[in-house]
Amino acid sequence: MEDRNLTQAYEHAKEVYGGLGVDVEKAMALADGIAISMHSWQGDDLIGFDGSQELSGGIASTGNYIGRARTLPELLADLDEAMGMIPGKLKVSVHACQADLGGKKIGRDAYTVQHFSGWIDWAKERKIGLDFNPTFFSSPQMDGDFSLSSFDDNKRKFWIEHGKRCREIGEAFGRMLGIRSLVNYWMPDGYKDIPADTAARRELMVQSLDEIFSAPMDKTCVAEALESKLFGLGLESYTAASHEFSLGYAITRKKIYTMDAGHFHPTERISAKFSAVLQYLDEILLHVSRGVRWDSDHVVIWDEELQSMMNEIIFNGYPDRVNIGLDFFDASINRIACWVIGTRNTRKALLSAALNPIHLAKDAERRGDYTARLAYLEEAKTLPFSAVWDYYCARQGVPVGTEWIARMKQYEKVVLSTRG
């Protein structure tokens, strides 16, 4: 905070925003306090540590950039490095395949919280929460591309038990860390080509999910979400857990509905859906991602849709009802940079939304003055946001501007390059 130019620019921006009725300090506090759940799988390409050698189930991580985390200590070190360059409140979302099994062969239907003790110790030390994800893919127990909707009773039972164990692990995370854990269920189940029977798989999926969720859980420790998807690689014609299926299940079973920015038709904007589904649900989980022509999980950039999503959250007073998590993985560039770019951009969009004098446009709208509404919305785009962002980063003790790139490159040289 010793940079005089930084402070002067901030004071000017504070005056400009203040003239429009925006309290900059309150805006920074609001954006800073909203938890963003970083996805651990950016660091290991979602391979995990339980014996899987490649991805399956309609997803893929492309590229072979140096430095993929091969062990839990490597992944935790990479997360630490990334988090040191990101401002604001954070959580970390863990996948079941990232269990630390100590070299033992243990089925996912038998995982317990003890297999994630390294994660818990790490999170306790950093005073952050952990979210959790069952891994319904990349396993010989898959029935082709089917898990909870498999016609094979034994395999379906295996995945039901896995789902139950994941609830228990999430509940233990919440209890041990004192921060509620959100367990997100996504199943790839689907067909490459047109199915003859579109109902049978979905009927089995409902039965399986109902069995998984049958035992009561401590809701202060764990919450459960169901994620929808339009299609996946090799699953282009049909997915059992579609948008309508998952939303209907969440509403009727009082679960959280997960909306992934890459899991809808490319012409759809999920930001436009938040205020609709939140008329019927208490909460949703947002997976911030970026699809390019399909659900390609590109690194999140600060584009119009990212800003629109964060605007919807802030403008409608939804910070306590929209849980924000990241979900992308790119193996073609430095994985630390992916985390830093995507998470900083998400926080940047939150701060931009918090600073927006949206009350002026809302007041004009209520008066029926749609000319003024459009004018206010447009003028807000060129307010001196960058000065506030830079000041906020400096205050939080993280790199300002491009300073983080040199730090990332040094970590790559000293640590990542040694992994081959």
Helices (H) and strands (E) in the chain, counts: 14, 10
Q: What is the pLDDT of residue 63?
A: 77
Q: Angle 403-414/335-355 helices, nearest 10 degrees?
A: 160
**Annotation says 287 is catalytic:** yes
Residues 150 and 159 sit within 8 Å (Cβ to Cβ): yes
- Rounded CA separation 165/351 (Å): 37
Q: Which domains does the chain have, with CATH numbers?
A: 28-356 (3.20.20.150)
In angstroms, the first-to-last Cα distance of the chain is 38
> Of 95, 155, 255, 287, which is the active-site residue?
287
Q: Tabulate helix, strand, coil % of the chain (nearest 5).
A: 50, 10, 40
**Does the pLDDT of residue 348 top 90, yes or no?**
yes
| Separation of alpha carbons 286 and 291, rounded Å | 14
Select from 340, 355, 341, 268 the least CA-distant residue to 310: 355
CA distances from 295 to 38, 83, 382 (A): 19, 26, 31
Torsions phi, psi for 191 (to 5 deg):
-115, 145
Average pLDDT, the chain: 95
Give me the residues paired with residue 287 across strands: 260, 325
Note whether 355 and 17 are within 8 A (CB).
yes
Q: Report the Cα 231 to chain-centroid distance in Å.
A: 19
Strand ranges in 161-219 using DSSP code E only, listed in sequence order: 181-185, 190-191
pLDDT digits (tens, 9 = 90+) for 235-267: 899 999 999 999 999 999 999 999 999 999 888
- Any catalytic annotation for residue 295? yes
Query: pLDDT by residue (tens digit) across 155-167?
Result: 999 999 999 999 9
pLDDT of residue 58: 62
- Give residue 406's pLDDT: 97
Q: Is residue 57 very low, low, confident or very high in pLDDT (cuts 50, 70, 90)?
A: low
pLDDT band at 1 (very low <50, low <70, confident <90, very high): low
What band does 56 get if pLDDT is binned at 50, 70 and 90? low
244 burial class (0-12, 13-18, 19+ CB within 10 angstroms)?
exposed
Which entry of 39, 263, 273, 348 is annotated as an active-site residue?
Answer: 263
Tell me, yes or no, if 109 is annotated catalytic: no
Q: What are phi and psi of 208, to 5 degrees?
A: -65, -45
Side chain identity at residue 233, one-letter code:
L
Mean pLDDT score, 66-90: 97
pLDDT digits (tens, 9 = 90+) for 285-316: 999 999 888 888 899 999 999 999 999 999 99
Residue from 14, 229, 255, 273 carrying the catalytic annotation: 229
If you average pLDDT over residues 189-216, what whole number do you get?
97
Q: Determine if the pTM surpasses 0.85.
A: yes
From the list 260, 305, 330, 412, the catalytic residue is: 260
Please check the confidence at residue 207 and state whether its pLDDT lies above 70.
Answer: yes
Q: Is 229 a catalytic residue?
A: yes
Q: What confidence score (pLDDT) does residue 50 get?
A: 87
Give the pLDDT confidence score for residue 293 in this predicted structure.
86
Please provide residue 200's backbone torsions phi and psi, each rounded to the nearest 5 degrees.
-60, -45
Instruction: Report the C-alpha gap between 385 and 389 in whole angstroms.
Output: 6
Task: State yes or no: is 131 an active-site residue.
Answer: no
- Active-site residue, selected from the candidate residues 74, 131, 171, 295: 295
Q: How far apart are CA 144 and CA 189, in angstroms?
A: 9
- For residue 410, the model assigns a pLDDT of 97
Q: How confident is the model at residue 170 (pLDDT cuts 50, 70, 90)?
A: very high
297 is catalytic: yes
Angstrom CA distances, 14 to 7, 118, 214, 367, stand at 10, 43, 52, 28
**% of residues, the chain, pLDDT over 70:** 97
Is 186 in the active site?
yes
| Residue 61's pLDDT band (cuts 50, 70, 90) | confident
Interaxial angle between packed helices 243-253 and 200-212, expressed in degrees from 0 to 180 and rounded to the nearest 10:
40
Given the residues 81, 312, 327, 330, the one annotated as active site: 327
Strand 238-239 relative to strand 190-191, pairing? antiparallel
Q: What pLDDT, on a 0 to 100 scale, did the predictor assign at position 55?
A: 66
Which residue in the list 44, 45, 81, 227 is annotated as catalytic? 227
Please indicate whether residue 263 is annotated as part of the active site. Answer: yes
Q: What is the pLDDT of residue 340?
A: 98
